[in-house]
Structure 1
């Protein structure tokens, strides 16, 4: 009498009907299911389905995202050349290398200019931070979980990050830059979190438990209206202008901000 095996060997497992379809048809199905493959929340289930589907979706996501990221750098390089009348291939924005799905979970950029009020030692004025940040509009239109902007604030000889007014100026400049992009009728921001932080090398020699940081969190109402909540914190700054009114520095807000920063940094580590 024949017995039925309790486990199936690889040769006895039927192949997936979906994976047996031609690649072109599978890609068409992906696009029907996911009109915007850069919305990583929508792709999460499929990415975990199996190794082959993960590889195919990852390739599709990266293929659609990298041209946007590269275009940001090309635009910034052109702006640099026109600003300084030079042919040097430099850019105000450093672009990350994105090769897989995980590296899209937290896309880190660095804007290598001052805080919008600094001057070059030679006396040449830097372009406004708001102008350079505005060049990221196409990137911010992607449905990415976290976009982190590192801002290496340029200090003069008599300046230090221990000065609360300088940190307040940093927070205010970042707040203004984001609000200008958000108010642009030709721009549709879809990133779930946009975080501004001072370049870490600037904190050497300073004993700050909480460096100044400001984050914008995407909020959608039940009626479908989308807006951004602002969370910011600098324990030593006395902020009493527009940004001060927008930020409520209570313990619950501070804890939310800490959690967002932790998740964004975990996502960045997982991607690398």
Structure 2
């Protein structure tokens, strides 16, 4: 780890870090400031008074929780298999999976629409959960595999000598030791599932099944466009993501750094 000792170097580093952070903080500041324009805190009261808000919140929790569960199970099992199991052609399968990272969400709308309609999943939460999970699994496997690669093979050899099965090695060795990377996967998947706007807009047609990201649509109509309420809705929608990140910040940063380095 690098250590900066001189005061001048610390000042330069502080200035550089501040300049890097400003482009990311400025839009958030504008969003909060805009949400307080006009009626001030009354904007938030009006947004919170929307009758469908609790249902939207519950729908978002359902989508996020189910997506996280699917991504966690699939990515950790895949990472364990790619890292520690002897599977013929596993590197080919791994890079085929990584190629999925190049697929943009918009390009997949038409085949996803046809698939969900044929399976009877259209206008159900699964029409949103499964595509989001599928789009998140490749990157989750990438960082999880690098993390599992750091677990010594001697632990698995010792477990086999004691009569443990392959699944027992995964359960009692991989699962406890991968908590940092799990936190990173949790936060990244939660952000992707909670903030997704396009898939709920296309695949969830009933008002009762829509998610919190569609809340601003209540204040944008053909003859009205109340941007203060739209910004207040955006702030309310972003709060759970901010809380989740702050709660798991240390584990997230540790896991992401360990998963990014092999």
Which structure is richer in relative contact order (CA contacts within 8 A, separation 6 or more)?
Answer: 2
More strand by share: 1
TM more than 0.5: no
TM-score, scaled to structure 1: 0.22
More helix by share: 2
TM-score, scaled to structure 2: 0.22
